[in-house]
């Protein structure tokens, strides 16, 4: 009697205007409420933690197998400080993690699975608002997609990039320089012992990749769409200003719950368009295309591949970071970071200034006076790295629903090109043949790789930037046109045409290419054409049989049956949309 009375009193006197979700668990005086409170109190929480204050979920992707997120348990403590300070009740919970360096066949196969984990975990628990702790590439979209489908007040905290890599007195960048080292090994310009010395110099601190790869691009997208606090993307993981940011995130999410500032109230079409333009200014990862298409789908925002091309056309790449340029994320932070880039875009009329952000201010209010300290890192428009930096969408009989290319990482000379196709049906076949001295390949050839799309591999791995043959590297060839239905690492570079849709494994035009065919690439006219007569292509199509499915598990069966093609973000068809977070039925 006394306890129920006490709790009733607490809830009656302090009842929020619209009852919080968590009140459905902790606010009653029945057996279920007793159970919910009692077991939580077993962790040592005082009675008044259940008085109706906002309960903040801290969704943690910490894992020893995701080295980029391995510092997250300490960071979560800083978020909790902020939540307590603001009068909230923090509850940290784990979800599956996605570590690029360790997962096979590819983390992308599991992005949608983790998004389901996140969505169900949020909805099933007494959570009023949530902080998403993200870092390594896929952790960011997976958590945002799941949380977007729930649409509670949500704030994203990225884990921060590593400090600049160091090797023999020079800076080296995650991923990007590995590709160079591997080429140097092939040509004999580097010894294996030197490469292994570089291995530890590259990853010398906590944090995620410090090139403008996928992790940094997605952290930048978080800031650009307004889901993170200013400087979320660039403060190095090892810089204690990252801890301060985490504490501020904890304080702010409590306010967001009080204001009922939900995910979909922050992110609308304007926010996504801003993010697409920021990605062009960054020379950001091609993976961002897939992830923002999928996120928009969750939020029921009608975004297409063509929006990427249209919005990026007049945006120059002004951020001089590897793989498109020279510097690394640490330099970018000291130069002014994403706020400086947003300011430049706003001043050029390339920003929806009134887009909302999590701190309650507009994107322009947050960034209009951002300082820029190094104009070689954040260039003025007139000294851009590339005048039109946006992702290019190519179409033709090889990719009827589109393929993409990142011009800032490509060789301008190859943007208009005809070449003879060298075709690989799998990455294993590529590896077996590429360094065969008898392979009839020259610098003008076009390497084609297929059966590496969402269902094909399965999971659309980052194998699209196939390395060049050793014999051509030795002749000094630096780049060749490569076409595939795969993805490539955000840290990679080259004239690489990716994400061909529909993919070969479901009968896309890429499946019909034969070795020796002529392919025409015309970036200016957005054309990707297989120069073979239509009736010949029809004969080939009639003779085509799909490859045997590569799936080996229940989840993979579900993935293969429901995954959308790359032009639609490769989400599972039944996950598209916003389902909300209505309180589920009682468990007991």
Least Å distance, CB 267 to ligand FES, is 23
DSSP string, 290-330: HHHHHHHHHTT----HHHHHHHHTT--B-B-BTTTSSB-HH
Residue with tokens 């020893």, as numbered in its chain: 64
Question: In terms of CB distance, is 182 or 191 closer to ligand FES?
Answer: 182
**Which of ligand FES, Mg ion, none binds 489 (CB below 5-8 Å, type-dependent)?**
Mg ion
Q: Are 250 and 81 in contact (CB under 8 A)?
A: yes
**Which of ligand FES, Mg ion, none binds 468 (CB below 5-8 Å, type-dependent)?**
none
Start-to-end CA distance of the chain, whole Å, equals 21
Q: Are 98 and 137 in contact (CB under 8 A)?
A: yes
Least Å distance, CB 488 to ligand FES, is 13
Among 208, 322, 343, 352, binds ligand FES (CB under 6 A): 208
- What Rg value do the Cα atoms of the chain yield, rounded? 25
3-state SS assignment for residue 201: helix
Least Å distance, CB 214 to Mg ion, is 4
Helix axes 337-347, 214-224, angle to 10 degrees: 60
Q: Which residues pair with 156 in a beta bridge?
A: 132
Least Å distance, CB 4 to Mg ion, is 53
* Integer Cα distance of 180 and 538 in angstroms: 41
Least Å distance, CB 225 to Mg ion, is 20
Question: In terms of CB distance, is 396 or 464 closer to ligand FES?
Answer: 464
Least Å distance, CB 174 to ligand FES, is 6
Residues that bind Mg ion (CB under 5 A): 100, 137, 213-214, 489-490
**Which of ligand FES, Mg ion, none binds 305 (CB below 5-8 Å, type-dependent)?**
none
Among 52, 90, 213, 312, binds ligand FES (CB under 6 A): 213
* Integer Cα distance of 154 and 156 in angstroms: 7
Least Å distance, CB 358 to ligand FES, is 23
Question: In terms of CB distance, is 153 or 459 closer to ligand FES?
Answer: 459
Q: Are 36 and 2 in contact (CB under 8 A)?
A: no
* Integer Cα distance of 212 and 219 in angstroms: 10
- Beta-strand relationship, 416-424 and 399-405: unpaired
* Integer Cα distance of 566 and 305 in angstroms: 9
The count of chain residues that interact with ligand FES, using the rule CB under 6 A, is: 10
* Integer Cα distance of 503 and 517 in angstroms: 19
Q: Are 368 and 343 in contact (CB under 8 A)?
A: yes
* Integer Cα distance of 113 and 96 in angstroms: 9
Question: In terms of CB distance, is 363 or 409 closer to ligand FES?
Answer: 409
CB atoms within 10 A of CB 157: 30
3-state SS assignment for residue 178: helix
**Which of ligand FES, Mg ion, none binds 201 (CB below 5-8 Å, type-dependent)?**
none
Least Å distance, CB 213 to ligand FES, is 6
Would you count residue 215 as binding ligand FES (CB under 6 A)?
yes
**Which of ligand FES, Mg ion, none binds 274 (CB below 5-8 Å, type-dependent)?**
none
Give the Å distances, CA to CA, from 496 to 459, 468, 515: 19, 12, 18
CB atoms within 10 A of CB 471: 17
Question: In terms of CB distance, is 54 or 207 closer to ligand FES?
Answer: 207
Question: In terms of CB distance, is 23 or 140 closer to ligand FES?
Answer: 140
In this structure, what is the dihedral angle of CA atoms 39, 45, 49, 55, given to the nearest 10 degrees? -70
Residue span binding ligand FES (CB under 6 A) among the ranges 5-13, 18-26, 205-213, 567-575? 205-213
- Beta-strand relationship, 446-449 and 154-158: unpaired
Task: Kindly identify the residues of this chain, within the stretch 47-86, that bind ligand FES according to CB under 6 A.
Answer: 68
| 428: exposed, middle or buried (Cβ count in 10 Å: 0-12, 13-18, 19+) | exposed
Residue span binding ligand FES (CB under 6 A) among the ranges 120-128, 209-217, 304-312, 426-434? 209-217
Would you count residue 177 as binding ligand FES (CB under 6 A)?
no
Among 92, 100, 330, 517, binds ligand FES (CB under 6 A): 100
Q: Could you give phi then psi for residue 321, rounded to 5 degrees?
A: -120, 150
Would you count residue 209 as binding ligand FES (CB under 6 A)?
yes
3-state SS assignment for residue 359: coil
Task: Kindly identify the residues of this chain, within the stretch 155-174, that bind ligand FES according to CB under 6 A.
Answer: 174
Question: In terms of CB distance, is 137 or 231 closer to Mg ion?
Answer: 137
Q: What is the DSSP letter of 462?
A: S
Least Å distance, CB 275 to ligand FES, is 19
**Which of ligand FES, Mg ion, none binds 68 (CB below 5-8 Å, type-dependent)?**
ligand FES
Question: In terms of CB distance, is 128 or 137 closer to Mg ion?
Answer: 137
Would you count residue 204 as binding ligand FES (CB under 6 A)?
no
Least Å distance, CB 409 to Mg ion, is 14
Least Å distance, CB 198 to Mg ion, is 18
* Integer Cα distance of 155 and 498 in angstroms: 31
Question: In terms of CB distance, is 287 or 401 closer to Mg ion?
Answer: 287
Question: In terms of CB distance, is 67 or 88 closer to ligand FES?
Answer: 67
State the residue number with the nearest CB to Mg ion: 214
Among 133, 134, 136, 281, binds ligand FES (CB under 6 A): 136
Question: In terms of CB distance, is 100 or 128 closer to ligand FES?
Answer: 100
3-state SS assignment for residue 67: helix
Residue span binding ligand FES (CB under 6 A) among the ranges 207-215, 338-346, 405-413, 469-477? 207-215
Residue span binding ligand FES (CB under 6 A) among the ranges 206-214, 247-255, 275-283, 500-508? 206-214
Among 101, 201, 360, 550, binds ligand FES (CB under 6 A): 101
**Which of Mg ion, ligand FES, none binds 571 (CB below 5-8 Å, type-dependent)?**
none
* Integer Cα distance of 60 and 357 in angstroms: 22
Residue with tokens 């409420």, as numbered in its chain: 33
- Residues forming the site for ligand FES (CB under 6 A): 68, 100-101, 136-137, 174, 208-209, 213, 215
């Amino acid at each position: 009697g006394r306890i129920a009375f006490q709790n009733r009193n607490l809830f009656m006197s302090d009842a929020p205007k619209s009852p919080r979700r968590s009140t459905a668990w902790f606010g009653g005086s029945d057996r279920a409420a007793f159970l919910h409170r009692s077991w939580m109190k077993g962790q040592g929480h005082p009675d008044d933690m259940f008085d109706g204050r906002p309960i903040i979920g801290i969704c943690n992707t910490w894992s020893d197998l995701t080295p980029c997120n391995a510092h997250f348990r300490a960071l979560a403590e800083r978020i909790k400080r902020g939540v307590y300070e603001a009068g909230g009740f923090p509850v940290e919970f784990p979800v599956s993690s996605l570590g690029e360096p360790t997962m096979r066949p590819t983390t992308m196969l599991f992005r949608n699975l983790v998004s389901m984990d996140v969505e169900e975990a949020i909805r099933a628990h007494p959570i009023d608002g949530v902080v998403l702790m993200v870092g390594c590439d896929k952790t960011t979209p997976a958590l945002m997609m799941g949380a977007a489908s729930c649409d509670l007040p949500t704030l994203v905290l990225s884990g921060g990039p590593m400090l600049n890599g160091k090797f023999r007195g020079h800076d080296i960048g995650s991923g990007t320089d590995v590709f160079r080292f591997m080429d140097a090994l092939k040509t004999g310009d580097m010894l294996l012992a030197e490469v292994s010395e570089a291995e530890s110099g590259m990853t010398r601190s906590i944090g995620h990749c410090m090139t403008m790869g996928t992790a940094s691009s997605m952290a930048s997208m978080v800031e650009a769409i307004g889901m993170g606090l200013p400087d979320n993307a660039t403060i190095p993981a090892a810089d204690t200003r990252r801890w301060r940011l985490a504490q501020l995130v904890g304080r702010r999410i409590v306010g967001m719950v009080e204001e009922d500032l939900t995910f979909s109230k922050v992110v609308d079409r304007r926010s996504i368009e801003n993010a697409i333009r920021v990605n062009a200014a960054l020379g950001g990862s091609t993976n961002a295309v897939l992830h923002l298409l999928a996120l928009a789908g969750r939020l029921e925002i009608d975004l297409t591949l063509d929006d990427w091309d249209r919005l990026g056309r007049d945006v120059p790449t002004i951020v001089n970071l590897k793989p498109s340029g020279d510097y690394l994320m640490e330099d970018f932070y000291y130069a002014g970071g994403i706020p400086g880039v947003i300011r430049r875009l706003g001043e050029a009329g390339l920003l929806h200034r009134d887009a909302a952000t999590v701190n309650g201010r507009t994107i322009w209010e947050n960034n209009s006076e951002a300082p820029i300290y190094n104009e070689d890192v954040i260039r003025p428009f007139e000294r851009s790295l590339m005048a039109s930096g946006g992702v290019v969408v190519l179409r033709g009989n090889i990719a009827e629903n589109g393929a993409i290319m990142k011009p800032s990482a490509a060789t301008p000379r190859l943007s208009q090109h005809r070449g003879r196709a060298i075709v690989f049906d799998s990455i294993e076949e590529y590896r077996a043949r590429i360094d065969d001295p008898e392979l009839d390949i020259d610098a003008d050839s076009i390497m084609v790789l297929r059966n590496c799309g969402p269902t094909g591999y399965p999971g659309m791995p980052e194998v699209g930037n196939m390395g060049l043959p050793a014999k051509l590297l030795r002749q000094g060839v630096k780049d060749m046109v490569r076409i595939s239905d795969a993805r490539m690492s955000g840290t990679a570079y080259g004239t690489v045409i990716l994400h061909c849709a529909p993919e070969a494994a479901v009968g896309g035009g890429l499946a019909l290419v034969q070795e020796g065919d002529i392919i025409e690439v015309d970036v200016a006219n957005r054309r990707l054409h297989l120069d073979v007569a239509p009736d010949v292509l029809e004969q080939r199509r009639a003779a085509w049989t799909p490859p045997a499915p590569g799936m080996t598990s229940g989840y993979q069966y579900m993935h293969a049956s429901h995954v959308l093609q790359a032009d639609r973000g490769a989400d599972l068809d039944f996950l598209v949309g916003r389902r909300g977070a209505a309180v589920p039925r009682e468990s007991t």
